[in-house]
Amino acid sequence: MAQGNLLYAQSGGVTAVINATAAAVISEARACKVKVLAARNGILGALREELIDTSKESAASIRALAHTPGGAFGSCRFKLKSLEEDRAKYERLLEVLKAHNVRYFLYNGGNDSADTALKVSQLAKAFKYPLTCIGVPKTIDNDLAVTDVCPGFGSTAKYTAVSVREAALDVAAMADTSTKVFVYEAMGRHAGWIAASAGLAGASPEEAPQIILFPERVYDEKAFLAKVRKTVAKVGWCVVVASEGIRYADGRFVADAGGSKDAFGHIQLGGVASHLAARIKDELGMKVHWTLPDYLQRSARHIASKTDWEQAQAVGKAAVQLALRGQNAVMPAIVRTSDSPYRWRIEAVPLTRIANREKKIPNRFLRKDGFGITAAARRYLRPLIQGEAPLPYRQDGLPRYIELKNVAVKKVIPEQT
Amino acid sequence: MAQGNLLYAQSGGVTAVINATAAAVISEARACKVKVLAARNGILGALREELIDTSKESAASIRALAHTPGGAFGSCRFKLKSLEEDRAKYERLLEVLKAHNVRYFLYNGGNDSADTALKVSQLAKAFKYPLTCIGVPKTIDNDLAVTDVCPGFGSTAKYTAVSVREAALDVAAMADTSTKVFVYEAMGRHAGWIAASAGLAGASPEEAPQIILFPERVYDEKAFLAKVRKTVAKVGWCVVVASEGIRYADGRFVADAGGSKDAFGHIQLGGVASHLAARIKDELGMKVHWTLPDYLQRSARHIASKTDWEQAQAVGKAAVQLALRGQNAVMPAIVRTSDSPYRWRIEAVPLTRIANREKKIPNRFLRKDGFGITAAARRYLRPLIQGEAPLPYRQDGLPRYIELKNVAVKKVIPEQT
């Protein structure tokens, strides 16, 4: 039988569906009579003893949470270092967990978070504190090892493919007298999964996006500009999707090339799309437009993938079940059993196989010319954007998103001096 | 009884729903046994005698056209000048219309297009050629006189309000350790309607967006930065929405301030959001993110407003009816009869009341501090984003958008030498 409380924390950049995972964790734990505390602003909330009592939220609120983007309890960019370097912090964390009778720790994040969950589990063992630690996968970057896909990615992929398709229709209509080249900047500092998903917008290399730039390939300006020129000559216009993380042969980020000072001596922020657009304008003399969707691509719950939404909930539910079964230091991973129709199941994978690893796009997914995706990539990506996650709208035309009450748990540890 | 053909042309920037207008024009004309020709790439297609025979498209295709963004026959940025300056072009246009037995000319665009339609009607009269000219309203900028709203605006407004709401949830979740200020750049060179629509994302001045910058107000950097600082101190974070057209007191566009050369001597393209973000970072030392949705905001049919979609179709249908009744040189305008529930009807307005005028945001819609919208603005804007326009999706997760066959009409005028 379940005993003790469960602590749930979100980590790193939020997504359109991380709250769906949270909602599933809370629902499943409620069904098993386990109380869920949430850390305010991720692991920092745990260290500061800033905890939220989710039992104060109604069942209707938790249902609404499942379709609300952002991070309902707050997340953070904060990585615990090694046990040696950050020992005091790890011990403080254990102290807080003990003080609130937390026996299950669910950390919802990427490979950094898997590493933290693993270390917490090791320390608990060393201190003989009975704690089950579970990593729960989340990241739009899709760079986690082992799992078929990371919840969050499918929705960003769908946003990207749909947005690129729509913008391409716009560009095609205007190219005769206006914009010839459109550049779309996708998130992805080290892995080009999001940019790759844009490839789903078209069915062939002639269809938009005609050019995708991946961080897995060296950026060669000459080859790129030649490809733009050729595409415009053939199609009449060209859509480019660029990962923010593309680099020159010498390792410099292209985005950094844009960093400069303006006429007033103010620093200008860099950006890949802005830089590429300027180069196309300068070198090819074509009218260019560009977009930087930035956070819109990871918060656009209104165009979330149903597949992604279901997987986000499935890993949340499975995480609670694994925790209550005492399966320590694992992550519920998604295992694909069929491409078409897409079939998958959840499997527990040791955190040691996830922590601090990074899954880049395999070679067989990238076209020989480096500017697009292969049929194998399409087979992998296509199911991930399938289906439209249901979303209720208010009468005023906005989605029915919720803000939780987030009632604080009373602190019990004396303030440190 | 109807006699002769109808020529339909799209003009200027396309929208998420201009094809819904096109579909309504074609459906209504078919019902009245009138053949619709479409000009390829707008008025240029008419001048070049590049016409499309829409009768070659199936009824199913026309139904699909009603939910496809972009401009199905192509649009253009090309303005005919005065009758004196461009007389040869106007005469050429009449020649093409005569050659293809066009008796109804529907020009779907903004105030420039209304002006062109007006001039064509005047010239036809002078030449005693029986032609009925109708302006059909379209523009995301919402700057047309007389009409309550311009088809295209409501969908961009909905995209804007929803996107800003979603991004704000993201920023709120991360602000403790990451981004404190988020800047969203909205289209609108002269009128701030799109930026104003972002105000619907929050219900009070404390809710995001806490700051909106309108081209109708002089941009005062000091006051702006002070407001950002105050908001972050109070709320913990801040969302800013800026019109691309904001200017300093001396008339310079803020966007132009960003124009500069990078480390390689390459010209950097300017931008309001990028500039504001850099200033916030420099002066307030806060982490900033920014977005430039660019074309995404006018092509995002996936989040189109149902109200807007219905109005886009209504003006198309009414335009055909007006044309067949011989009501020359008018535009079907939308007349609001009630705010809540929103009620409206179509009324024919002389093009002379539309041509070359520009509707800016009235003072009573802007908050006294200049950083937000008033209750009156909310009453005006709210109904325009109400309802979700239906959109069928394919099994692969992309919207079911169509590309028409666009069969060319045989040219009959000998090539000019």
Quote the ipTM score. Answer: 0.96
Are residue A81 and residue A143 in the same domain, yes or no? yes
Final residue belonging to a domain, choices B264, B299, B334: B299
Final residue belonging to a domain, choices A277, A298, A319: A298
Q: Which residue of B has its CA nearest to A300?
A: B166
CB contact under 8 A, A397 and B174: no
CA distance A175 to chain B (A): 8
Are residue A249 and residue A352 in the same domain, yes or no? no
Q: Could you tell me the pLDDT band of residue B14, with boundaries at 50, 70 and 90?
A: very high
Whole-Å CA distances, A329 to A1, A116, A122, A351, B269: 20, 10, 9, 6, 49
CB contact under 8 A, B173 and A70: yes
Residues of chain B with C-beta less than 8 angstroms from the C-beta of A279: 266
Classified as helix, coil or strand, A334 is strand
Q: Which residue of B has its CA nearest to A71?
A: B173
CB contact under 8 A, B278 and A267: yes
Whether B400 is covered by a domain: the verdict is: no
Q: Could you tell me the pLDDT band of residue B315, with boundaries at 50, 70 and 90?
A: very high
Are residue A201 and residue A331 in the same domain, yes or no? no
Cβ atoms of B398 and A163 closer than 8 Å: no
Residues of chain B with C-beta less than 8 angstroms from the C-beta of A171: 295
Domain encompassing residue B103: 5-141+301-356
Q: What is the mean pLDDT of chain B?
A: 94
Which residues fall within 8 angstroms of residue B128, CB to CB, at 6 or more apart?
Answer: none
The whole-number pLDDT of residue A256 equals 80
Whether A83 is covered by a domain: the verdict is: yes
For chain A, what is the largest distance between any 2 Cα atoms, rounded to a whole number of angstroms? 72
Which residues face B399 on adjacent strands? Answer: B393
Average pLDDT over residues B273-299: 95
Residues of chain B with C-beta less than 8 angstroms from the C-beta of A50: none
From the list B170, B292, B396, the residue facing A70 with the nearest CB is: B170
Choose, from B53, B112, B115, B141, the residue flagged as catalytic.
Answer: B141
The whole-number pLDDT of residue A1 equals 45
CA distance B69 to chain A (A): 7
Whole-Å CA distances, B351 to A378, B18, B136: 50, 19, 10
Closest CA to A74 of A409, A412, A404: A404
Let me know the angle formed at the C-alpha of B347 by B344 and B349, rounded to the nearest 5 degrees.
135
Per-residue pLDDT tens digits for B24-70: 999 999 999 999 999 999 999 999 999 999 999 999 999 999 999 99
Are residue A255 and residue A138 in the same domain, yes or no? no
Whether A406 is covered by a domain: the verdict is: no
Per-residue pLDDT tens digits for B254-278: 988 655 555 555 544 558 999 999 9
Q: Which residue of A has its CA nearest to B74?
A: A173
Whether A415 is covered by a domain: the verdict is: no
CB contact under 8 A, B281 and A269: yes
Residues of chain B with C-beta less than 8 angstroms from the C-beta of A77: 174, 177-178
Are residue A84 and residue A39 in the same domain, yes or no? yes
CATH code of the domain containing A77? 3.40.50.450
For chain B, the domain total comes to 2
> Is residue A141 annotated as part of the catalytic site, yes or no?
yes
Backbone torsion region of residue A57, taken as left when φ is above 0, otherwise alpha when ψ lies between -120 and 50, otherwise beta:
beta
Which residues face A267 on adjacent strands? Answer: A261
Let me know the angle formed at the C-alpha of A176 by A170 and A178, rounded to the nearest 5 degrees.
65
- Tokens representing B32 are 């009245």
Choose, from A53, A112, A115, A141, the residue flagged as catalytic.
Answer: A141
Whether A364 is covered by a domain: the verdict is: no
Helical H segments across B100-253, by residue range: 111-126, 153-174, 193-198, 221-235
Are residue A283 and residue A144 in the same domain, yes or no? no
Burial class (CB in 10 A: 0-12, 13-18, 19+), B395: exposed
CB contact under 8 A, B301 and A258: no
Residues of chain A with C-beta less than 8 angstroms from the C-beta of B293: 291, 293, 296
Residues of chain A with C-beta less than 8 angstroms from the C-beta of B386: 395-397
The whole-number pLDDT of residue B417 equals 52
CB contact under 8 A, B266 and A278: yes
Cβ atoms of A265 and A251 closer than 8 Å: no
- Residue A410's CB is within 10 A of a number of other CB atoms, namely 8
CB contact under 8 A, B177 and A279: no
The whole-number pLDDT of residue A265 equals 53
Are residue A176 and residue A284 in the same domain, yes or no? yes
- Tokens representing A165 are 């398709």
The whole-number pLDDT of residue A108 equals 98
- pLDDT by residue, tens only, chain A of 417 residues: 458 999 999 999 999 999 999 999 999 999 999 999 999 999 999 999 999 999 999 999 999 999 999 999 999 988 888 889 999 999 999 999 999 999 999 999 998 999 999 999 999 999 999 999 999 999 999 999 999 999 999 999 999 999 999 999 999 999 999 999 999 999 998 899 999 999 999 998 899 999 999 999 999 999 999 999 999 999 999 999 999 999 999 998 898 865 555 555 554 455 899 999 999 999 999 999 999 999 999 999 999 999 999 999 999 999 999 999 999 999 999 999 999 999 999 999 999 999 888 899 999 999 999 999 999 999 999 999 999 999 999 999 999 999 999 999 999 998 765
From the list B172, B303, B395, the residue facing A70 with the nearest CB is: B172
Closest CA to B22 of B415, B406, B409, B411: B406
Whether B68 is covered by a domain: the verdict is: yes
Are residue B159 and residue B295 in the same domain, yes or no? yes
CB contact under 8 A, B290 and A294: yes
From the list B169, B179, B396, the residue facing A70 with the nearest CB is: B169
CA distance A263 to chain B (A): 6
Q: Which helix (H) or strand (E) holds A344?
A: strand A343-350
Are residue A36 and residue A110 in the same domain, yes or no? yes
Q: Could you tell me the pLDDT band of residue B1, with boundaries at 50, 70 and 90?
A: very low
Residues of chain A with C-beta less than 8 angstroms from the C-beta of B282: 266-267
Are residue A72 and residue A181 in the same domain, yes or no? no
Name the one residue in this structure whose structure tokens are 């719950």: A301
CA atoms within 13 A on the CB side of A378: 14
Are residue B213 and residue B253 in the same domain, yes or no? yes
- Residue A214's CB is within 10 A of a number of other CB atoms, namely 28
From the list A257, A291, A299, the residue facing B294 with the nearest CB is: A291
CA distance B105 to chain A (A): 20
Q: B2-11, B316-325, B407-416 — which one is most confidently predicted on average?
A: B316-325
Cβ atoms of B319 and B7 closer than 8 Å: no
Residues of chain A with C-beta less than 8 angstroms from the C-beta of B398: 161-162, 165, 200-201, 385
Are residue A257 and residue A203 in the same domain, yes or no? yes
Whether B251 is covered by a domain: the verdict is: yes
Let me know the angle formed at the C-alpha of B27 by B26 and B33, rounded to the nearest 5 degrees.
85
CB contact under 8 A, A173 and B387: no
CA distance B335 to chain A (A): 20
Whole-Å CA distances, A187 to A149, A279, A280, A399: 16, 20, 21, 25
What is the dihedral sign for C-alpha B337, B339, B340, B346? positive
CATH code of the domain containing A272? 3.40.50.460
Final residue belonging to a domain, choices B316, B341, B356: B356
Whole-Å CA distances, B253 to A258, B145, B256, B371: 21, 24, 5, 18
**In this complex, how many residue pairs, one in chain A and one in chain B, have their CB atoms less than 8 Å apart?**
266
Whether B18 is covered by a domain: the verdict is: yes
What is the value of pTM for the model shown? 0.97
Q: Helix %, strand %, coil % for chain A, to 5?
A: 40, 20, 40
Q: Which residue of A has its CA nearest to B67?
A: A166
Distance of CA B209 to the CA centre of its chain: 22
